[in-house]
Amino acid sequence: MPLKHPPTDTPGPLGLRSERVEVRVGDGVMSAYAACPAAPGAYPGVIVAHQLFGVTPDVRAIADTIAALGYVTIAPDFYHRSEAGVELPADEEGRARGFALMGELTRAGVLADVRAAQRYLRDRADASGRVGMVGVSMGGHLAYYAATQLDLAVTVVLYAGWLTGTDIPVSRPEPTLELTADITGRMVVIVGDRDHVVTEEQRTAIAQRLEADGIRHEVIVIPDAPHAFLSVGTPTFHATAAEQTWKLIAHSLTTELG
């Protein structure tokens, strides 16, 4: 019998198991970080999409926190085709290298990676079969795109840039926002009102498109929050905004995944 989930207002006190795993993607192998509750059960799955800097400690912490809520999580290394296992510092040098790596991502590669992660979650003996996705910054963009192509029950997109334009390869040939009508699950977009990457104009465009295409959705703007406010241990971490956002994430996952 699946364990009951802890209350949705704070991460639960479940013990965790975590490990590095390898997932086959086509003719290659993608490394990933996986975490799950230690107690026996059948848990829904959540894919965690990393930001510009790779599967860094703050991304693994996000995967752990979601796992503590009662989910099996996997954080794929989307850079594995270019530089496997990269973990960049959140500074100017790391940002420059991250932008270079992001420039080598393709829609086809991202879709193959998310599909492989989804298959991994569904094939696990401790998985219930339902899968959602949470993406931060660049990973939010990847999650939004994946939601237009795959059967994700819920997608939580945190401060995703470039959705409304064609500035990066994964936003081409048409802006990712133009694919919104193909989303089948619930879409939850969370962004800070002081985000320098996602402007108020872009937030409005995202909300209007989700509404126009009849997607079950929420667009939530967090007061006084900058970009990348969820990443513990980085200069942009904002404790108050993070606390509010974790409540929203927990509620969204529990509502749609059980």
Helix (H) or strand (E) holding 73: strand 72-76
Percent of the chain's residues with pLDDT above 70: 95
| pLDDT tens-digit map of 7-65 | 233 344 458 999 999 999 987 999 999 999 999 999 999 999 999 999 999 999 999 99
Give the pLDDT band (50/70/90) at residue 233.
Answer: confident
* Structural domains of the chain sorted by starting position, each given as residue range(s) with its CATH number in brackets: 16-257 (3.40.50.1820)
The token pair that represents 112 in the structure block: 């193959």
Interior/surface letters 33-45, b for 16+ CB within 10 angstroms, e for the rest: bbbbbeeebebbb
Confidence check: pLDDT of 148 > 60: yes
What pLDDT was estimated at residue 23? 97
This prediction's pTM = 0.93
| pLDDT tens-digit map of 67-96 | 999 999 999 999 999 999 999 999 999 999
- What mean pLDDT comes out for the span 107-134? 97
Mean pLDDT in the chain? 93
Phi-psi region of 130 (alpha: psi -120 to 50; beta: other; left: phi over 0): beta
What pLDDT was estimated at residue 180? 98
